[in-house]
A and B are shown apart, each in its own frame.
Chain A
């Protein structure tokens, strides 16, 4: 009987078996990642090269990396005063727990050696929370290239931490503007994406407009007026060689490369009607893409080359349309209030950037390629011509200020903004600037 009772108790004994607790984490923070960029250690065997002082190079490179990171808004480079280890020792093996004390989550260390007229730079990125090395690379180049080395290091770290390609080793071409508003001198200028190393590519005796980088290489196409006739030019930045692609009748607008760099797409007026045309760079064969009585302008290819977005007033007001690259299947994608223009397809392929004009105000915005999810990123008195960074994360555009009664106070400057709508920044240029175009990565 006792046994039976015991068995009975055992059976009725409540048993608890807990499954593994699962918690879904669907949100995180957008706070910039605290990162410590230690000055690069200069090897004692290094020798000065021309006017480059080697002992300062380590600090300068780390400063450029910090500046690049700060400009992204995604990283928070920590003050160097709080650093707890000397650069040479940290580069061998950091004391992770000490670096964690200053709230750093990642650490960049490096070493420089200038010998036999060559600059050798190595760097390491450390994950301080996991106490391990994330990436280690070395570069050898001529010492004059030290700024590019800093940008390449920034790109590698950015890619390792965010998952997307960096955009620091890139350049921006733009139209430099000087002089009063009614007598502007416009030159073609190029600079590094951080505003350094500005060079002027034309003399300013001809009007230049809408320079655009080839996404595949360092060729640039732009429009210039020669004896009041628009001409489309090709310019090789590496060699400085310039050639005329063609003379086009009437108004010609905004030539732009196809993603493979083999074609130029543009709009020009034939018989008083603007339509979209492509031209093969090799064969110079011109092909008509749209044939409509309305004005079709500002074409831009999708990164796979299968679609083209453009703006047209075929519905009465200027709106954005998408079609297949052969001109078929035209679909209107914007239906909002106001006018839409200058559509540019993101290099990532997921968004189209545009300029919107509504009630006398200008907006730069992005939307999905089907026209949904429109987000206006910035609003101002006058701004337009967005151009994508090669990773599709940042837009550069130009903004003009209102001039005073005597035409004074007018400025045109380049600005950049993140696609989240945060982190709007003015890019320092030597002169006034307009019509920017961002290059692809130089080190690709």
Chain B
């Protein structure tokens, strides 16, 4: 009894000493990371899909089969699981062109060629469907998926935890609405004009219900500009539907809030 107590005390002392000694080394200066700039991603897999060398293809297929087997032993794969998780709905080419033309009007905006992309986004561009298949299993499990996302988009945790959309999914949706929203240019840029619209979406991205969250402000006297902004925002979401929502995770995005704030744009 005394012996084991002695061991326990000795062991705990060692642990405490180790902790005290190693702690100063663990505290590091915070890494000064550049802010993550959101970048519109274009799926270029079709154009850049270089066929694998025969040897590599065999390895990949073998791994794929093994994955399938593991999955089938546990549970039959659901229909959702088969869908490619990183198949991101992208704005069509036409809208992309429009975006570039529009940038002329705002010289302060970052030009496309000097846009910064994070490591995660670079990976996304390189990812092919074959590689995506390898991580199918991980993506099946929602919890695991969230964990992975949080590691990659560390400075944008809001996107993955709070909103449930990845940065690229959110960007795709944003880019779609940019294209549909004709901003009323007569609005004063120095007023607080933020219109919040809550949408209830169907699985195909169409809108079943739209609601302006500060609805009562619309009919208040002196809120003419707010009303016009709110109407333009509603027009935008109606024109845009079906919205480009992710093919999976309906529960996450069946309710969606869009915050329309044109002040940056109006300031020019």
Residues on A facing B (Cβ under 8 Å): 14, 16, 18-31, 33, 74, 105, 127, 129-130, 134, 160-164, 373, 375, 391, 393, 420-422
Contacts and interface: CB of A to CB of B under 8 A. Distances in A.
Contacts of A21: 163-165, 252-253, 255-257
B185 A105 contact: no
Given A22-B257, A127-B235, A163-B229, A27 B264 contact: yes
A27 B163 contact: no
Q: Per DSSP, are chain A's interface residues mostly helix, strand or loop, or mixed?
A: loop
A105 B262 contact: no
Interface string B225-251: 100110111111011000000000001
Contacts of B185: 30, 74, 162, 164, 393, 420
A194 to B, nearest CB: 20
B139 interface: no
Contacts of A16: 142-143
B177 A26 contact: no
Interface in B78-113: 98, 102, 105
Given A21-B256, A21-B257, A422-B105, A28 B181 contact: yes
A28 B105 contact: no
B143 A28 contact: no
Given A24-B261, A26-B263, A127-B235, 15 more contacts: A18-B251, A21-B255, A22-B162, A25-B178, A28-B236, A29-B179, A30-B102, A30-B182, A30-B183, A33-B182, A105-B182, A129-B238, A162-B185, A163-B184, A163-B229
A14 B143 contact: yes
B133 interface: no
A268 B233 CA distance: 52
Contacts of A30: 102, 105, 182-183, 185
A161 B178 contact: no
Contacts of A375: 268
Nearest to A74: B185
A29 B178 CA distance: 6
Q: What are the 9 A-B residue pairs with the smallest beta carbon separation, nearest first?
A: A164-B186, A28-B181, A28-B183, A162-B186, A163-B186, A163-B228, A129-B238, A21-B163, A129-B235
A23 B184 contact: no
Interface in B131-189: 142-143, 162-165, 170, 173-174, 177-187
Given A22-B163, A129-B239, A420 B261 contact: no
Contact of B181 (A23, A24, A25, A134): A25
B198 interface: yes
B258 A28 contact: no
Interface of B: 98, 102, 105, 142-143, 162-165, 170, 173-174, 177-187, 198, 224-225, 228-229, 231-236, 238-239, 251-253, 255-265, 268
B231 to A, nearest CB: 7
Contacts of B262: 26, 28
Contacts of B260: 25
A268 B237 CA distance: 58
Contacts of B235: 105, 127, 129-130
B234 A130 contact: yes
Contacts of B164: 18-19, 21
Contacts of B225: 163
Contacts of A130: 231, 234-235, 238
Contacts of A373: 268
A25 B174 contact: yes
A29 B183 contact: yes
B187 A163 contact: yes
B265 A27 contact: yes
Contacts of B98: 29, 31
A74 B182 CA distance: 9
Contacts of A391: 186
B239 A20 contact: no
A27 B178 contact: yes
Contacts of B256: 20-21, 23
Nearest to A106: B235
B8 to A, nearest CB: 28
A420 B259 CA distance: 25
21 contacts: A16-B143, A19-B162, A21-B165, A22-B162, A23-B163, A23-B174, A23-B258, A24-B174, A25-B181, A25-B236, A25-B260, A26-B261, A27-B264, A30-B102, A30-B105, A30-B183, A134-B231, A161-B228, A162-B186, A162-B228, A373-B268
Nearest to B267: A373
B177 A25 contact: yes
A184 to B, nearest CB: 39
B234 A20 contact: no
A374 to B, nearest CB: 12
Contacts of A33: 182
Contacts of B253: 21
